[in-house]
Amino acid sequence: MKPIHILLIEDNEGDILLTQEALDKSKIVNDVSIVRDGNEAVLFLNKQENYAKAVTPDLILLDVNLPKKNGHEVLQYIKESEKLKHIPVIMLTTSSSEIDILKSYKSHVNCYITKPVDAKSFLNVVTSIENFWVTIVTLPTQ
């Protein structure tokens, strides 16, 4: 099985470390790229500036609350792009706001997950995401 490439768009260092830990412990081979704000995410996805050699991700984990360009704006950009809209996007965020949830689904997010508060539950959620999206779901081969 070829490694899956995951793009993590997250500005919280603690959540980045926990996500990386969960993905590192996984039995699934993966490569993870990290960007910390919405503008960087768009540059990465377009392979611009410092990201000219970026790999198009197989899966995107996106936070709602990001600096410069929020997660809703990034999601809308992805889902309106012919070259990117096939990539599954999982909104992984602390927001449990009904407005954020509805707005995400209206913009065609593939699923919306509210981050658990405690570290062990967070690790379990990330592991479950990866297991589902890599071992159960068939992702497109670009």
Right CATH number for 4-136 from 3.90.1300.10, 3.30.530.20, 3.40.50.2300, 3.30.70.20?
Answer: 3.40.50.2300
pLDDT tens readout for residues 39-89? 999 999 999 999 999 999 999 999 999 999 999 999 999 999 999 999 999
pTM: predicted TM-score of the whole model, two decimal places: 0.90
pLDDT of residue 93: 87
User: What pLDDT is stored for residue 27 in this prediction?
Assistant: 66
Q: Where are the domains of the chain?
A: 4-136
> What are residue 104's DSSP bridge partners?
none
Q: What's the whole-number mean pLDDT along residues 109-118?
A: 88
Confidence at residue 142, expressed as pLDDT on a 0 to 100 scale: 63
Rounded CA gap, 102 and 66, in Å? Answer: 18
Taking the C-alpha atoms of residue 93 and residue 100, their distance in angstroms, rounded to an integer, is 10
